[in-house]
Amino acid sequence: MSRKQKKTLGRILLSAALLIAAWIAPIDGSWKLIAFMVPYLVVGYDVLWSAIRNILHGQIFDEQFLMAIATLGAFGVGEYPEAVAVMLFYQIGELFQSIAVGRSRRSIAALMDIRPDTATVLRDGQETVVSPEEVALGELILVKPGEKIPLDGEIMEGTTSVNTAALTGESLPVDRTVGENVVSGSVNLTGVITVRVHSVFAESTVSKILTLMEESAAKKAKVEGFITRFARVYTPCVVTGAALLALLPPLLFGGLWSEWLERALVFLVVSCPCALVVSVPLSFFGGIGGASKQGILVKGSNYMELLSKVSVAVFDKTGTLTKGEFKVSDIHPSVVDERTLLDIAAAVESFSSHPIAASIVRAHNGHIDKSRVSDVKELAGLGLSAVIDGQTVCVGNGKLMDSVHAKWHECHLPGTAVHIARNGEYLGHVIINDVVKPEAKEALTRLKALGVDKTVMLTGDRIDVAKAVQAEVCVDEVKAQLMPDQKVTAVEELLDPKATVAFIGDGINDAPVLSRADLGVAMGAMGSDAAIEAADIVLMDDKLTKLADAISIARKTMRIVKQNITFALAVKAVVLALGAMGFANMWIAVFADVGVLILAILNAMRALSLSKK
């Protein structure tokens, strides 16, 4: 509990004690007024001062004004205990609100406590401790076990395990060694590592995530914006209604002024909209915090609301439904055996950095004698040619085979075919396929179970490859051989006022499509600047099942929001009617206002513990 909260609690307890003393004291007249005014001022002086200050600034119709006019009016009609009780319970509600908001902020702050305080930079052979902002691009930093990795970079020396829980929600550590990247905000667990910095602090993963979380509160959901606008219109209306309730019956029907004034005061206390104004944004804030615990970053409550309504899910293939890792799936020799064909292909491809070439070298998994290979040429759009043991070898696509008059043929299997010819003689081909993520089918099944009506896969790959992936992951529809601009067009064709379309991609080259869909979701985005900036929702690890978790959390958050709105409006409507008819006193009004506020806050706080379960 903060110092301010402790001070408020102390005032509440002191005021309650003074209220009880004034209640049982055998006093009357002016002394009774003074006895009750003391606890009233102890607990409510700040509310009165805020009301006066806001009036002077032209902000009349707010909750402080309602509380001030209602309680002072109660004193005016001799309802001293009720006046103090209203202010006392109002402050209890404010304390609950403060604690709830503080808990929400601390939850997110603890989760996102990933900002490193210092960095140990190696300069002229010396270790120098500086602020991460002072480390330049390309410098070497030393990270010891137990320290947060301050900046994104590549490991140059050392091997370690890294805890990425604050970024991905995944508690299991991951191993990292020389040549592999590490991202800021994760924790070095075991070994000392030397890291070459890839990005300055302002452009690092941790900095972008912290900025994202700070800005998320500014992006309000439609329902949240509606509540804000509703309160601005609602409060003046109920003040006007209370004034009419106090004046018209005595003037028109000869009712007692004191009776109708008391009814008007009850009307004012009940009408305070703080339960709605406080609990709705608090519910969204809690939902965003609960999602963050799962490694799901939501850039604002407006995106949380959209996420709960997703009915069409559009997936990029490579890097999203598949790993983006090419693998040799089949070897089909014609005039040599499989091992010889792979030896020849790997020898040539070892001179290329292309991912397909790397997959062939990995499949060879043996020593490659590069001294046998000479005169390597990269033929744009075709493949490679080289000389091995004095013989010309070509490795590439069908067009390359045609150019050397090799009698090649298409393969009946889906995938990318790499053809091999030697001195114009066709030796065979190797089939390369992108590996489908093992959880992809489960992820799409879970989306269907959540009521997502349609799933679509977009890819620039061939239709036969796309169909093979479709059969494996059970996506409803595929669109293949698409250029980047055609992917945008494909998403636009799916947009419908009655549907919410989410596009899910790896965030690296999908920025135009991410921004064109109703909701852009980037996954596997740890360390990807483009993903963090382009998407509305960021899944920090590479698990596709997190999408279903995100939708589930969003829907639970929206249920809590709707529960609070329905409950608050229903109770207030009933008590407002009872108060106007004289069946509700000030104590019932206190419950209808502060009681509803506290219950709504407690319900909103459940959003903090939301998870995929």
The percent of the chain in helix, strand and coil, each rounded to the nearest 5, is: 55, 20, 25
Asked if residue 116 lies in contact with residue 132, where contact means CB atoms within 8 angstroms, the answer is yes
Place of tokens 């609100």: 97
Q: Quick check: 416 and 356 in contact, CB under 8 A?
A: yes
Compute the distance between CA of residue 293 and CA of residue 538 in angstroms, rounded to an integer.
Answer: 13
Bridge partners of 387?
374, 392
**Which member of 316, 461, 536, 542 is catalytic?**
316
| φ, ψ for residue 480, nearest 5 deg | -110, 170
Judged on CB neighbours under 10 Å (0-12, 13-18, 19+), 31 is exposed
**Gap between the Cα atoms of 11 and 516, Å rounded:** 53
* DSSP assignment of 559-578: HHHHHHHHHHHHHHHHHHHH
* Backbone phi and psi for residue 441, each to the nearest 5 degrees, phi listed first: -65, -40
What is the identity of the amino acid at 103? Answer: R
**CA gap 19, 42 in Å, rounded:** 10
Cα separation, 584 vs 389, whole angstroms: 101
> Which one-letter DSSP state was computed for residue 609?
G
Could you write out the DSSP letters of every residue in 199-257?
S-GGGSHHHHHHHHHHHHTTS--HHHHHHHHHHHHHHHHHHHHHHHHHHHIIIII---H
Q: Is there a catalytic annotation at residue 369?
A: no
Residues 6+ apart with CB under 8 A from 496: 312
| Angstrom distance (rounded) from CA 42 to CA 38 | 6
CA gap 497, 495 in Å, rounded:
7
Beta-sheet strand order (sheet of 383-388): 322-333, 425-436, 416-422, 391-396, 383-388, 373-379
Using CA atoms in the order 133, 134, 140, 145, what is the torsion angle rounded to 10 degrees?
A: -60
- Tell me which H or E stretch contains 332: strand 322-333
Q: What pairs with residue 162 in β-bridges?
A: 174, 188
379, β-bridge pairs: 383
Q: At what angle do helices 80-111 and 30-56 cross, to 10 degrees?
A: 50
Asked if 274 and 100 touch (Cβ cutoff 8 Å), the reply is no
Query: Which residues are tagged catalytic?
Result: 316
